[in-house]
Structures are given as structure tokens and as C-alpha cells.
Amino acid sequence: MSVERSSQRCELHAAADLLATLDERLIEHLTVDDSRTFVLYNEAILDLTVSDGDLCAARSFTIGLQGFAQRVSDPDPESVITALCRDLTASIDTKQR
């Protein structure tokens, strides 16, 4: 199965701890370094890379698709990436209010 590489940039209103947010949302992830982690979300492997700040104080980040589990028969990269971005930003915005 070939999946086209997709990515999306996500902006936050204020710096936020993405690792804590992932943990709170029970989203599995594997931290690579201070600005990058691989995320398992909706049977997809996503590359989350912070472009402003670091994983513990991020203001913007990019989510890129690495691949899907083999059992996913009709993957939609854009919808999975958008869903994770919305999930994280909504959770962070709720906490910051």
C-alpha cells in the first residue's frame, strides 16, 4: 500500500506542553528529541515536529504522516492529520482558558 506523504502546520495561541497533552489524551507517542515525537493516532504513525519552541513549550508544530497500520484498507491522510491537530489544539485551548 502506498500512501502519499502529507503534512499540516498547527499554531497555538500560547506555548503549551505537547507531551503532557498527549499523555492526558492517552495518545501513545515515542519521543525522538526535544522537538520531535512519533505519534500513534487512529491507526496512523505521525511525525510531530515542533517548529517554534520545543515539545514542552511549543507555539507551532507540523504533523506529517509516516504510514498506516496494514489493516487500514482506505486511509485518508489529511483527515487523520487534521483530526490530531484539532484534538491537540482543542485540548490545549480548553486548559488555557
Question: What pLDDT, in 10s, does the model give residues 8-49?
Answer: 999 998 999 999 999 999 999 999 999 999 999 988 999 999
The neighbouring-strand residues paired with 97 are none
Task: Spell out the residues 6+ positions from residue 53 whose beta carbon is closer than 8 angstroms to its own.
Answer: 15, 35, 59, 60
Identify the CA nearest to 19 among candidates 7, 36, 43: 36
Q: Give CA–CA dist 7/77, Å, rounded.
A: 9
User: 47-63, pLDDT tens digit by residue?
Assistant: 999 999 999 999 999 99
Q: 95 — phi, psi (to 5°)? A: -70, -30
